[in-house]
Amino acid sequence: MIRIIIVLIFFSFYISANASPKDKIISQMKLMDNLSFNFIQTINDKSEDGKCIVEYPKKIFCEYSNPSKKKLVSNGKSLVIKTSNRGSYYRYPLSKTPLEFLLNKEYLISKIKELEPRVIDNKYLNFKIFENNNEINIFFDKKNLNLIGWQTEDIYQNLSITFISSVKKNQEIDSKIFKLPQNN
């Protein structure tokens, strides 16, 4: 009986050690409930930076470092972009944005399972997803397999590139940050 247990333990270590990078990425994603990170986002050659917290499924809270102190918040259904110095905000259905897919961990896992990664500069693994007239590229570090960013192109061909750093996984989060402002 002990031999069988030892063989099974050895076999499980062997399988996990020889898992493909794609399988390891999927395993990491399955264990992730939330992540927080710093970001640099470039849209049509204009860059902004800040901090974000993502809670799966489909919730995000971002504070930009720009003078207007822009905030981006999703409660899983709607996306609000607010500028502090004017108090005005814009509300969009999340389903009309690429974040609908990027914030859906189960969707990403299912797509990554279907795709083969493309190696870029021998540093990054890239998965390219096409969904509802959106092109979404997701990038992972080839060494540690951590998410490092994404690139989206919307139906108007606006290119948005987001690089993330200082990633922390499964932190305690105050769920009140995902509360949207009341309708005017």
Confidence label for 182 from pLDDT (cuts 50, 70 and 90): confident
142: phi then psi, degrees, rounded to nearest 5 = -70, -30
**CA nearest to 140, candidates 124, 158, 162, 160:** 124
pLDDT above 90: residue 52 = yes
- pLDDT of 108 strictly over 50: yes
Query: pLDDT-derived band of residue 154, with 50, 70 and 90 as boundaries?
Result: low
Q: CB of 108 within 8 A of CB of 29?
A: yes
Six token digits for residue 112 = 């990554």
Query: How large is the average pLDDT for residues 4-31?
Result: 72
Rounded to an integer, the average pLDDT of 116-140 is 94
Tell me what the mean pLDDT of segment 55-70 comes to: 92
**Structural domain spans, the chain:** 20-171
pLDDT band of residue 158 (cuts 50, 70, 90) is confident
Report CA 109 to chain centroid distance, whole Å: 11
Q: Which CATH number fits domain 20-171: 2.50.20.10, 1.20.1300.10, 2.30.36.70, 2.120.10.30?
A: 2.50.20.10
Q: What is the mean pLDDT of residues 32-61?
A: 95
Residue 139 has pLDDT above 60, yes or no: yes
Average pLDDT of the chain, as a whole number = 88
Distance CA 2, CA 10 (A): 12
